Amino acid sequence: MNIGEKIKEIADRKNLSQKLVGDLINENQQNVGNDYKRSSLSIDKLLTYSKALDHNFIQYYYNDEPFKTYREEEYKQWNEKINSLNEQLDQANRLISMQDETIHTQKELISTQKILIEALSDKK
């Protein structure tokens, strides 16, 4: 993959000339043209282009080592956190359901007790 070509593609898609891209990143048009021809750029330069063109140029390296391993580990950690939170949510929902049943039962009991109290009051 040629990152310079990818940057040019995104700039072209946004109808940005080399000069305008250069203005956005504080470089001259010739340097931008040279970057378009390069197969690799520094991380700082990629971040500069990413900000200027509102596009994540780092993503094209996610499948390369060591980024691939780091990203997989990050995904694994996030999935573990998501699973843990889902378990907590399920547990909270079960607790709410049990409390709703308890409240319903208590309301029925109160209603029955009111009827009994009224029945006893009427006998006096």
> If DSSP states are collapsed to H, E and C, what string results for 17-73?
CHHHHHHHHCCCHHHHHHHHCCCCCCHHHHHHHHHHHCCCHHHHHCCCCCHHHHHHH
Q: How confident is the prediction for the chain on average, in pLDDT?
A: 95
Asked if residues 18 and 33 have their Cβ atoms less than 8 Å apart, the reply is yes
pTM of the model: 0.63
Q: How far apart are CA 70 and CA 82, in angstroms?
A: 18
Q: What is the CATH number of the domain that holds 22?
A: 1.10.260.40
Is 84 found in the same domain as 114?
yes
The total number of structural domains in the chain stands at 2
Question: Do 67 and 121 belong to one domain?
Answer: yes
pLDDT tier, 64 (very low <50, low <70, confident <90, very high otherwise): confident
Confidence (pLDDT) at 74? 94
Residue 35 contacts residue 45 (beta carbons within 8 Å): yes
- Using CA atoms of 62, 68, 73, 78 in order, give the dihedral in degrees to the nearest 10: 20
119 and 67 fall within a common domain:
yes
Report yes or no: 58 and 47 within 8 Å, Cβ to Cβ: yes
Residues 12 and 52 in one domain: yes
pLDDT band at 124 (very low <50, low <70, confident <90, very high): low
Q: What CA–CA distance (Å, rounded) separates 35 from 13?
A: 17
Its domain, for residue 55, covers 3-61
Q: What is the pLDDT of residues 95-108, one digit of tens each?
A: 999 999 999 999 99
The answer to whether 60 and 3 have CB atoms below 8 angstroms apart is: yes
